[in-house]
Amino acid sequence: RQEQDLLGQHWVITAGPTMEAIDPVRYISNHSSGKMGYALAAAANARGASVTLISGPVQLPSPQGVQVVPVKSADAMLAACVNAMTSQADVFIGAAAVADFKMKTVCDQKMKKQADSDELTLTLVKNPDIIATLAQQNRAKTMVGFAAETHNVLEYAKSKRERKGLDIIIANDVSRTDIGFNQDSNQVTVISANDTWTPDKAAKSDLAVQLVDFIQHHLSNLHSS
């Protein structure tokens, strides 16, 4: 039986894509599978943490013992996070692939094809940055984000960590087709203020165990310093 060293801790994790309505039958979304966030939730729960998993629409079973809060839009995901962290959480991990934009106005009826035009223009506005908002509000002792990049991976990840006010950022190269989006395995580089660490490529479930370990070490160093 695994050591229950996270007993008494509350971890909040986002996972999956968000789904932004265009009208009652259409939406904007992305191909995030949710696998990494679900694996992290299972790994933290296995070590005794109480875990709230705030999940966009995915095709995955709920990890046993984890409280899953299903959401669709980024606005709903942010509201569910704030609600889960009315008292400060120990760890927040933003593993969700949040849509950058949403409709300025969601049509309340199904949009009709215009007979006189071959073009359609949708006006989009920026979604809230969930993790940056939560970091600014100091909703968790340790804030962990992901950075999926196609080039200058480490450089962009480092600046993203600072810009969003995160303790740890987990960078992966999504230009590689063998890892990341929709794959079962992943290779990442973990970056904190003091450390840069690249564990071997591994199954997301194994990697999640190692990432939870790294985050826990970071958190226990906070307590001892």
| Annotated binding residue 167 | no
Minimum distance between the CB of residue 79 and ligand C5P, rounded to whole angstroms? 13
Say if residue 210 is exposed, middle or buried (CB neighbours under 10 Å; 0-12, 13-18, 19+). middle
Q: Which residues bind ligand C5P (CB under 6 A)?
A: 14, 74, 94, 96, 98, 127, 129-131, 145-147, 160
Residue 138 among the catalytic residues = no
Which residue, 5 or 155, is less far from ligand C5P as judged by CB? 155
Number of Cβ atoms within 10 Å of the Cβ of 171 = 24
| Annotated binding residue 35 | no
Tokens of 134: 């939560």
Identify the bridge partners of residue 92 per DSSP, sorted by sequence position: 12, 143
Which residue, 2 or 159, is less far from ligand C5P as judged by CB? 159
Residue whose structure tokens are 């940056």: 132
| Annotated binding residue 112 | no
| Annotated binding residue 173 | no
56/33 Cα distance (integer angstroms): 10
Minimum distance between the CB of residue 218 and ligand C5P, rounded to whole angstroms? 16
| Annotated binding residue 214 | no
**154 in helix, strand or coil?**
helix
Minimum distance between the CB of residue 130 and ligand C5P, rounded to whole angstroms? 3
Which residue, 90 or 129, is less far from ligand C5P as judged by CB? 129
- Of the candidates 30, 83, 127, 182, the residue annotated as catalytic is 30
Which residue, 48 or 183, is less far from ligand C5P as judged by CB? 183
Minimum distance between the CB of residue 187 and ligand C5P, rounded to whole angstroms? 17
Q: Kindly tell me the sign of the dihedral angle through the C-alpha atoms of 103, 131, 40, 148.
A: positive
User: 153-161, long-range: CB within 8 Å, 24+ apart, which pairs?
Assistant: 153/189, 154/189, 154/191, 154/196, 157/189, 157/191, 158/191, 161/191
Catalytic residue IDs: 30
Residues in the annotated binding site for CTP: 100, 110, 128-131, 146, 160, 164
